[in-house]
Every structure is written in C-alpha cells, then in structure tokens.
Amino acid sequence: MPADYSRTPETMPPPSPPAQPVHPTGSASPYEYVPVEDRMPPEVRRWADLRKQVAYRCKRINTGHMVEADQRFGGREALGPHGVMLFFVSDAPGEPHGYRLHTAYRLWLASPDSDDLPRLLADLDSVARDNIARAASARRRWHPLGPEGSMVNGGDMSLPEHATYVGAGVSTLDSDQGRWYQLAHTLRDLPASGHRLSVFDLKGQAYVLLTDGTAMHIDRDPHARLGVDGIRCNRTLDPDRVTYYNRHENLTEDGDDATRAVWRHLGALHHTLTAHLHGGGPA
C-alpha cells in the first residue's frame, strides 16, 4: 500500500448537515410505499435525509479532490485519481433531523498501485483486517480514524464521542469523459478550436454503501441540466412520494465488469468496518 503523506489541504467546507439515524429493517424493494401525512416513522425521514447529505458531501469532496489533483499534476506530490471516504453521524439535537454528518477521507499519491481502484480497495480491506486483529491481540480497540493505524488523511480527522459509523464510499476522477491522467493532459493542451477546458468542466464519480443497505452512485457533472442531480440510489431519496418504481434496486449488479468489481471490493471493506464497529468483534 502506498505510503502516507501529509494531510491534503481542505478545499471545501463541509456542508451543514443533519441526526443519528435509526437503522431501518427490511431490504430495498423496487416498489417503495410511503405512508401519507405524518404517520411515517422518523427513522425513514432521517435515512432519506442522510442519503442526500452523503451525496452532496461526496460531490464536494470529489470536486476538492479534482482541484487538488490538477494543482499537483506532474509534480512529486501528484495525487492519484481515487480516494476512499468514511461516513459517521453524531447526535446533534439542534439539527433538523437530530444528527450531524462527519466525513473523513483518504487520498493517495499517484502510483501504479493507486491507479487500480479494485486493488486499492482490496488492499485497504486487508490493512483494516490486520489492524483489527493486531489491536485485539493486544486487548485494544482499533478505530479507522486512529490514533494508531489511521486509514484517513483528510476531512473530519476526529469525531465526537459516541459517533456512529454509517458507511463508506469512493471518490474517483475517472468518468465517462475518460481516465483522469488523459483528462489532465487535455487540460494542458491547446486544442485547434483555441478553447481550453478547465478542471471545473470535468466530471467525477462517487460510489457509496450505507449500513441500512443503501447503495448510491453519484455522477458529478458540472454541466448537468437544472434539476438533474446525477444520483442513482437503490432506496428512496424522497420519503414523501407515495409510491414509485425504483429502477435502481439492483444498482450494485448493474454496469460493466470494472464497475461491479468496484462495488464488490467496496462492499468487502464496508462489511469489515461494519462488523467491527457495530458488532464489536473481528469481521
């Protein structure tokens, strides 16, 4: 696994989010029924709100990741195109839904290893398992934010007491526009038209898994039409919709082999962290 480096400067303030959700039961269904009026369980609203907050946070982190990677491109401290995000919530009675979202992330220096996202996730899962076992043998409790064996180097590096792990995600600068390294060179080339692209013209992506079974793919497109948020989710983002067909029920099984490999390895890491942080024992 690539060596750690100093914490990446923050390029975006975290949004002011929202309250510790209660884990709902049951699996996602293609048809989701939502009761009318206010008979809806509060945890349903909290999870729907959390999904949206996580999606917006992913977009901000992905934008900051891209700007930082562009500024460092070609240098000794150049950033790789992929990062991992960890999501936690803490009690916040003053917030609309009673919780606050905290996000820590890890970015890597550019290298052949950090360019291979499935391998990067598999290596990180292996490191997490080793850290859990090593701490358990010494009768200690390992946490992914440290202080020993920290998995992150940016974002919310410390958490309030009793903050709860709610999910993991990936930020990647690769998109349907091309691979990051190709796009970064394009930014520096003057095309025949004379119009040079800016880093703010480029897309980015994020993959997210939450502890309630949520899977989300976020397509960050700076030129998306008004009202198109680029979020695909296997669970509802709008609890007030009475009923609708969710065509993203099997989101993690969609896409090509490379996309499914990302979901699979992200799922393994998420399972390891969930089993450890919620189950109290080795994954």
- Taking only the tens place, the pLDDT of each residue in 97-149 is 999 999 999 999 999 999 999 999 999 999 999 999 999 999 999 999 999 99
Please give the residue that has the higher pLDDT: either 132 or 255: 132
Dihedral over Cα of 61, 65, 66, 67: its sign = positive
pLDDT tens, residue by residue, 88-98:
999 999 999 99
Amino acid type, 17: P
How many angstroms separate the CA atoms of 50 and 101, rounded? 8
Q: Which residues are CB-neighbours of 61 under 8 A, at least 6 positions away?
A: 12, 83, 85, 103, 105, 155, 171, 206
The answer to whether 114 and 82 are in contact (CB under 8 A) is yes
How many angstroms separate the CA atoms of 116 and 80, rounded? 10
Strand partners, 107: 83
- Residues above pLDDT 70, as percent of the chain: 82
pLDDT score for 110: 95
How many angstroms separate the CA atoms of 113 and 109, rounded? 10
How many angstroms separate the CA atoms of 110 and 112, rounded? 7
pLDDT band at 38 (very low <50, low <70, confident <90, very high): low
How many angstroms separate the CA atoms of 146 and 183, rounded? 35
How many angstroms separate the CA atoms of 118 and 120, rounded? 5
Q: Which residues are CB-neighbours of 22 under 8 A, at least 6 positions away?
A: 42, 43, 46
Residues making up the chain, counted from first to last: 283
The answer to whether 101 and 53 are in contact (CB under 8 A) is yes
pLDDT score for 187: 87
pLDDT tens, residue by residue, 152-167:
999 999 999 999 999 9
pLDDT band at 7 (very low <50, low <70, confident <90, very high): very low
Report whether pLDDT(253) > 70. Answer: yes
Report whether pLDDT(82) > 70. Answer: yes
pLDDT score for 135: 94
Q: In what order do the strands lie in the sheet with 231-233?
A: 154-155, 99-109, 79-91, 164-172, 204-210, 215-220, 231-233
Q: How far is CA 136 from CA 141, 143, 161, 229, 282, in A?
A: 6, 11, 21, 43, 8
pTM exceeding 0.95: no
pLDDT score for 194: 63
